[in-house]
Structures are given as C-alpha cells and as structure tokens.
Structure 1
Amino acid sequence: MAVKNDGLPHCKFALVFAVVMDLLGVLSMLLGVFASLEFDGRDFGDLLVYSGALLVVFSMGGWVIWYSGNIEGLATTKQLGGTMGNAFDRLARNLSRKIRLPRTQSSP
C-alpha cells in the first residue's frame, strides 16, 4: 500500500485559516459599508470595516505559511550534512507529520 499526497498536501490548517479569515473579513467589511448599524445614536459601521480589514491582514499570515509550506525541492538539513538531533527540528518535524494527512492509494 503506497502513501500518496496529491492536491494540497501540506499545511491544510493554514489554508483553512486563511480562507476563513478572508471570508469573515470581507463579510465584516461589507456589513460595515452596506448595513445600517446604528445603536443609541452611534454608528458601528466603521468598527466592522476596520475589524474586517484587520481580519484580512491576519489571513495574509496564513497564506504565507501555506505557500511557503508547499514549496517542493528544498534541501533538508540531513541532505546538507547537518545533524537532525536539534530539539526544534524534531518538534517541527513531528508537528508537520501530524498536520499532513496522507492519502492511501488502493491497489488495482
């Protein structure tokens, strides 16, 4: 049974985070612009526009992580001749393995 990663193999959580933040940010900005949100004589439309823009800015972090996590062909520390005994390397490797969900391919 071979393990096969296709489609969006790496950093799926970062992709979901980025898309959700974009959707919430755009929805918040649209509500702030087009909805009449006046309570007790105060207008809260600006608050929604600014918070929506902030959510879209946060989503950029998710997009950067997703994009950089899907770069193929970079040399690993082991290939460069370094040791992989570093605690940070082990933590990053274990976290990456937990996030990445491999698909199994059935034999014909």
Structure 2
Amino acid sequence: MGPLRLLARCAVFALVALLCDFAGLIFLLLGIFAPISSWDFFVYVGALLLAFSLLFWTLWYTFNIEVPFGELGLS
C-alpha cells in the first residue's frame, strides 16, 4: 500500500491541510522576523492557519480509517 493510495482517498483534506500548514508557517515567520508594524496580525493569522490545519489533518486521518465489514457487526 503506497503513500499515494492513502492520500488519494481524501486528497482534498490532505491538500487543504498542507496548504494551511504552508501558509500558516509563512505568515508566522513573516510576523516574527519581518520588521513590519502589523506583526501581530501575521502572527495571529499564522497561528490560526496552523490550528485549522490540525482540524483538516484530523479529518483526513479519520476518513482514511478502514474497518472490515465483518467487524462492524452489521451482518
């Protein structure tokens, strides 16, 4: 089972999570290291994007869990 097969089942959640991770890190580092007057906006937005990425990673992981039909007890 390759990593692309696991990613392909819920690829939208994984891509949104990666996008939030990337954008959140960029905003956070921009707010910390750039000499700008509105640094707090960038730090807070970066932290919020990283928090949302955790939500999307959780959704991706949850929807990728496979339970065999026999273990569901529906038969």
TM-score norm. by structure 1 comes to 0.58
Aligned to 1:36, the other structure's residue is in SS state coil
Q: What residue number does 1:64 align with? A: 58
Structure 1 unaligned runs (5+)? 38-42, 82-108
Larger relative contact order (C-alpha < 8 A, sep ≥ 6)?
1
Larger radius of gyration: 1
Identify, as 1 or 2, the structure richer in helix. 2
Residue segments in structure 2 that go unaligned for 5+ positions in a row: none
Q: Does residue 67 of structure 2 align to residue 80 of structure 1? A: no
CA deviations over 1:32-70 (Å, ceiling 9, x no partner):
011111xxxxx2011100110001111111101100111
Separation (CA, whole Å) in 2 of partners of 1:65 and 1:75:
21
Q: What is the number of equivalent residue pairs in this alignment?
A: 71
Runs of 4+ more than 6 Å apart: none
Structure 2 SS opposite 1:57? helix
| Contact 2:27–2:46 (Cα < 8 Å) also in 1 | yes
